Protein backbone atom coordinates (compact mmCIF):
# COMPACT_ATOMS: atom_id res chain seq x y z
CA UNK A 1 0.00 0.00 0.00
CA UNK A 2 2.87 2.38 0.76
CA UNK A 3 4.40 1.64 -2.63
CA UNK A 4 1.09 2.42 -4.31
CA UNK A 5 0.86 5.67 -2.37
CA UNK A 6 4.39 6.82 -3.16
CA UNK A 7 4.30 5.86 -6.85
CA UNK A 8 0.89 7.43 -7.43
CA UNK A 9 1.92 10.61 -5.63
CA UNK A 10 5.13 10.85 -7.67
CA UNK A 11 3.23 10.21 -10.90
CA UNK A 12 0.64 12.83 -9.96
CA UNK A 13 3.35 15.42 -9.36
CA UNK A 14 5.17 14.60 -12.59
CA UNK A 15 1.97 14.64 -14.64
CA UNK A 16 0.97 17.97 -13.13
CA UNK A 17 4.40 19.41 -13.94
CA UNK A 18 4.10 18.09 -17.48
CA UNK A 19 0.66 19.66 -17.85
CA UNK A 20 1.91 23.01 -16.60
CA UNK A 21 4.91 22.86 -18.93
CA UNK A 22 2.77 22.03 -21.94
CA UNK A 23 0.28 24.78 -21.10
CA UNK A 24 3.15 27.25 -20.81
CA UNK A 25 4.63 26.09 -24.13
CA UNK A 26 1.25 26.47 -25.85
CA UNK A 27 0.71 29.93 -24.35
CA UNK A 28 4.18 31.17 -25.33
CA UNK A 29 3.86 29.75 -28.83
CA UNK A 30 0.46 31.31 -29.44
CA UNK A 31 1.57 34.62 -27.93
CA UNK A 32 4.72 34.84 -30.07
CA UNK A 33 2.89 33.47 -33.14
CA UNK A 34 5.48 30.70 -33.40
CA UNK A 35 8.61 32.80 -33.70
CA UNK A 36 10.28 30.80 -30.93
CA UNK A 37 9.79 27.63 -32.95
CA UNK A 38 11.95 28.90 -35.82
CA UNK A 39 14.51 30.67 -33.65
CA UNK A 40 17.20 28.16 -34.64
CA UNK A 41 16.98 29.33 -38.23
CA UNK A 42 19.31 32.26 -38.81
CA UNK A 43 17.79 33.49 -42.01
CA UNK A 44 16.56 36.95 -42.81
CA UNK A 45 14.21 35.37 -45.35
CA UNK A 46 12.02 33.99 -42.56
CA UNK A 47 9.04 36.22 -41.78
CA UNK A 48 8.09 37.33 -38.29
CA UNK A 49 5.01 35.08 -38.30
CA UNK A 50 5.91 31.37 -38.24
CA UNK A 51 2.59 30.42 -39.85
CA UNK A 52 3.71 31.93 -43.13
CA UNK A 53 7.31 30.74 -42.88
CA UNK A 54 8.86 29.18 -45.93
CA UNK A 55 11.39 26.40 -46.20
CA UNK A 56 14.87 27.76 -46.74
CA UNK A 57 18.27 26.16 -46.96
CA UNK A 58 19.38 28.02 -43.82
CA UNK A 59 16.98 26.09 -41.61
CA UNK A 60 17.64 22.45 -40.65
CA UNK A 61 13.94 21.56 -40.80
CA UNK A 62 10.91 22.31 -42.91
CA UNK A 63 9.27 25.40 -41.43
CA UNK A 64 6.08 25.38 -43.47
CA UNK A 65 3.91 23.56 -40.94
CA UNK A 66 5.86 23.79 -37.68
CA UNK A 67 3.32 26.05 -35.92
CA UNK A 68 0.20 24.03 -36.71
CA UNK A 69 1.92 20.69 -36.13
CA UNK A 70 3.30 21.73 -32.74
CA UNK A 71 -0.08 22.91 -31.52
CA UNK A 72 -1.87 19.87 -32.96
CA UNK A 73 0.46 17.61 -30.98
CA UNK A 74 0.61 19.67 -27.79
CA UNK A 75 -3.14 20.01 -27.19
CA UNK A 76 -3.85 16.23 -27.01
CA UNK A 77 -0.68 15.75 -24.97
CA UNK A 78 -1.89 18.39 -22.52
CA UNK A 79 -5.28 16.71 -22.18
CA UNK A 80 -3.72 13.28 -21.65
CA UNK A 81 -1.23 14.59 -19.07
CA UNK A 82 -4.04 16.32 -17.17
CA UNK A 83 -6.14 13.15 -17.22
CA UNK A 84 -3.14 11.16 -16.00
CA UNK A 85 -2.64 13.62 -13.12
CA UNK A 86 -6.30 13.30 -12.11
CA UNK A 87 -6.23 9.51 -12.23
CA UNK A 88 -2.98 9.39 -10.28
CA UNK A 89 -4.51 11.66 -7.66
CA UNK A 90 -7.48 9.33 -7.34
CA UNK A 91 -5.11 6.38 -7.03
CA UNK A 92 -3.29 8.24 -4.27
CA UNK A 93 -6.59 8.74 -2.44
CA UNK A 94 -7.36 5.03 -2.73
CA UNK A 95 -3.96 4.23 -1.24
CA UNK A 96 -4.71 6.59 1.64
CA UNK A 97 -8.05 4.85 2.23
CA UNK A 98 -6.28 1.48 2.27
CA UNK A 99 -3.94 2.82 4.96
CA UNK A 100 -6.84 4.19 7.01
CA UNK A 101 -5.72 7.79 6.54
CA UNK A 102 -7.94 10.66 5.47
CA UNK A 103 -11.59 11.62 5.76
CA UNK A 104 -12.90 8.79 3.57
CA UNK A 105 -11.05 6.07 5.45
CA UNK A 106 -13.40 6.01 8.43
CA UNK A 107 -16.38 4.93 6.32
CA UNK A 108 -14.60 1.96 4.81
CA UNK A 109 -13.31 -1.00 6.65
CA UNK A 110 -10.53 -3.19 5.34
CA UNK A 111 -13.06 -6.02 5.16
CA UNK A 112 -15.25 -4.03 2.76
CA UNK A 113 -12.33 -3.14 0.52
Q: What is the mean pLDDT of residues 9-13?
A: 92
What percentage of residues in the chain have a pLDDT greater than 90? Answer: 27
pLDDT, position 60: 61
- Residues 37-92 have pLDDT tens digits of 776 665 555 555 554 555 555 566 666 677 778 888 989 999 999 999 999 988 88
Query: Residue 21 — pLDDT band, cuts 50, 70, 90?
Result: very high
CA of 68: how far to CAs of 16, 31, 48, in Å? 24, 14, 16
CA of 66: how far to CAs of 9, 25, 50, in Å? 35, 14, 8
Q: What is the mean pLDDT of residues 24-37?
A: 82
Please check whether residue 58 is in contact with residue 43, taking contact to mean a CB–CB distance below 8 angstroms: yes
Please check whether residue 81 is in contact with residue 15, taking contact to mean a CB–CB distance below 8 angstroms: yes
Domain ranges for the chain, please list them: 1-35+69-101
Please check whether residue 36 is in contact with residue 29, taking contact to mean a CB–CB distance below 8 angstroms: yes
Please check whether residue 6 is in contact with residue 79, taking contact to mean a CB–CB distance below 8 angstroms: no
Amino acid sequence: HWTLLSVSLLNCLLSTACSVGLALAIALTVHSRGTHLVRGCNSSALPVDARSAIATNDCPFNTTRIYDTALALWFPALLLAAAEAVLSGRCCLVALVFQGIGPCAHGYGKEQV
